[in-house]
Amino acid sequence: MKAQVRPERTAGWQAGLLALSLLSSAMAVAAPNHALKVADALGHTHRGWSKAAPDIDAFPVNPDGTVSVIVQFNKGEDHGVGLALAKRVKRHLNIVNAEALDIPVGLLEQLLRHPQIAYVTPNRRNTAKWDDAAPAVNAPSARQNYGVDGSGIGIAIIDSGVYQHDDLQTADMTGSRIVYSESFVTGDPSTDDPYGHGTHVAGIVAGNGHDSALGYIEQYLGIAPNANIINLRVLDANGAGDDSSVIAAIDRAVQLQGQYNIRVINLSLGRPVYESYTVDPLCQAVERAWQAGIVVVVAAGNMGRDNSFGEQGYGTIEAPGNDPNVITVGAMNEHRNWSRDDDVIASYSSKGPTMLDHIVKPDLVAPGNRITSLQVPGSVLATLVRPNALLNPLNGCGAADSDPTACGVSATGQYVQLSGTSMATPVVAGAAALMVQANSSATPDSVKALMMKNAWKGYPQATNIVYDADGIPYSTQTDIFTYGAGYLDIQATMADDTVVPGGAASPEAVFDPNTGTATLVNGLSVVWAQSVVWGQSVVWGQSVVWGQNEVADNSVVWGQSVVWGQMDTSACSVVWGQSVVWGQSVVWGQASALANSDPGDN
């Protein structure tokens, strides 16, 4: 989300802020909510204007009378009209044929009426979405059996910066694996990580466990522990950033793709959905990266606890995770053991279908609850988390050690536990790095398709009760809008050498209120629409819980689910309706799922 980038839709977001958020358990500090909105300044709304984003009227006017917008131009048109009207040109966003501009609010309508303009959105804010997750997804087995560790693969971390932690050094400690750093935060060229979120994410992707090799209860190793990090900072010290910064960083990753072999982008951030992915500039940017051959992995959001309209967290996937091409990741609670038999979805993990387009999301789930990874000493998150989330070495190497100094205990303050879809996302990003190391010709679509086909689908057909860290219960159903295609299994995915013949865009769910059934609709080029091998019963499993072509509303799994509109009229309109106006406090209010350093679930 500079509407705030937030950790999946996390608590604390001010709806009028339009912020991108980090999808993690510590909440980003919200930007000030200016009293004067665009509609107030102009004396009318832009409702019904085809080129105006639906939330533009609620966007704040800057103190100097300008409004911060992203202007997309029609193909082949000159950008001169937008540049001429701007008081400030913030960024050239070539990847989406757009400009990020501050224009006087009184000139907004002149811009919207111009024939060269395709679409105008606010420069929305994004926020971050916040253990060792490797055993549950069979990462150690995959690394050992296939001899892969991420070597030579570049992973772009678009986040709050990455700190030069020991665990991100080369194995011989002679150099850093952070091979490129750049800041897109306006007025702050530092590429360090004062917030502390991006470094935690980088550790899950590629930490080599150096500082926890001795003296800790276990070694905290990332999924691809020898991969290189491209550090593209877009979030400020409070974990907030704007759309244009994120888009510019995605553009830079594409530009640097050949130089650093960037094969994966990790986006553990997001903001609400305001319009169809087909015109949202943030979604268009991730599609361009995907088409350029980069696997884009995005956090689903942290709004699974939202029940403002009786929707039980459905319809809360955040942008750009609502784009059908990218891999959108939900968070699982491992219950702090290595077996996945008792793992359940985290209560805060956002659920599909996506607003407006009704795309089936998330695509996959991965461990994201109380994940241990790298801490930035003195960072904002280090001060926000509860004390028991900060991990220190043992006094000795173990109870049997007679000499507590024999193993050379590392310094304190190296690791911290965070929760959120922000943490689940880099697990999948690291898995993607292992896959493309093993097969350099792998395409983003093949990576996504094989991950979804081979995801573990051993969940019971039931409704589960899950509890947050304060013991508050939440009811979750086992369905494709909660678990996607299932639980990431890296070993099973890498063992599958099936050739992927087409694209892997996530399908649309089409609900027929007359028959009470829903159909999953794919495009003609989508792999799971073409044959028995890629049939929907394979990708989403053999039982109704994962959805065959048609899903009955009266099945034991779907039951009276709000997704199908059987429980409450207002809830149904929130999930399936077209009239939701985002950016008003009546929709999302002031509460965040993971505010006040919520440590996640029990």
Q: Which residues are catalytic?
A: 159, 197, 422
Q: Is 231 helix (H, G, I), strand (E, B) or coil?
A: strand
Instruction: With beta carbons less than 8 A apart as the criterion, state whether 212 and 218 touch.
Output: yes
The answer for residues whose C-beta is within 8 angstroms of residue 315's C-beta and 6 or more apart is 351, 352, 353, 354, 355, 563, 574, 575
Select from 104, 105, 99 the least CA-distant residue to 119: 99
Q: In what order do the strands lie in the sheet with 550-552?
A: 508-512, 517-521, 550-552
User: C-alpha distances in angstroms, 396 versus 217, 372, 499?
Assistant: 10, 20, 51
Query: What is the DSSP annotation of 70-134?
Result: EEEEPTT--SHHHHHH-SEEEEEEGGGTEEEEEEEGGGHHHHHH-TTEEEEEE--EEEEE----T
Q: Which residues of 263-287 are buried (b: 16+ CB within 10 A; e: fewer)?
A: bbbbbbbbbbbbbebebbbbbbbbb
Q: From CA 27, how far away is CA 594, in angstroms rounded?
A: 6
Cα 151 from chain centroid (whole Å):
24
Sign of CA dihedral 86, 88, 93, 94: positive
Q: Classify each residue of 361-376 as buried b or exposed e, where b means 16 or more C-beta atoms within 10 Å of its C-beta.
A: bbbbbbbbbbbbbbbb
From the list 324, 396, 326, 7, the residue with the least C-alpha distance to 197 is: 7
Contact 248, 197 (CB under 8 A): no
SS3 state at 19 = coil
Where does residue 378 fall: left (phi above 0), alpha (psi -120 to 50 degrees), or beta otherwise? left
Instruction: Give the span between the Cα atoms of 426 and 268, in whole angstroms.
Output: 8
Q: What value, to the nearest 5°, has the Cα angle with vertex 243 and ends 23 and 297?
A: 45
Query: Alpha helix locations (H) across 136-256?
Result: 139-146, 197-206, 243-255
Residues 545, 557: contact at Cβ < 8 Å? Answer: yes
Q: How far apart are the first and last CA of the chain?
A: 28
User: What are the tokens at 515?
Assistant: 């028959």
Q: Which two three-digit tokens encode residue 306?
A: 């939202």
| Upper half-sphere CA count for residue 60 (Cβ side, 13 Å) | 19
| Residue of 313, 357, 362 whose CA lies nearest to 511 | 357
**Distance separating alpha carbons of residues 592 and 302, to the nearest angstrom:** 8
For 497-528, letters b (16+ CB in 10 Å) and e give eeebebbbbbbbbebeeeeebbebebeeebbb
Separation between Cα atoms, residue 271 and residue 53, nearest integer Å: 15
* Nearest by Cα to 366 from 23, 1, 118: 23
Q: Which of these, 277, 250, 204, lies nearest to 488 by C-alpha position?
A: 204
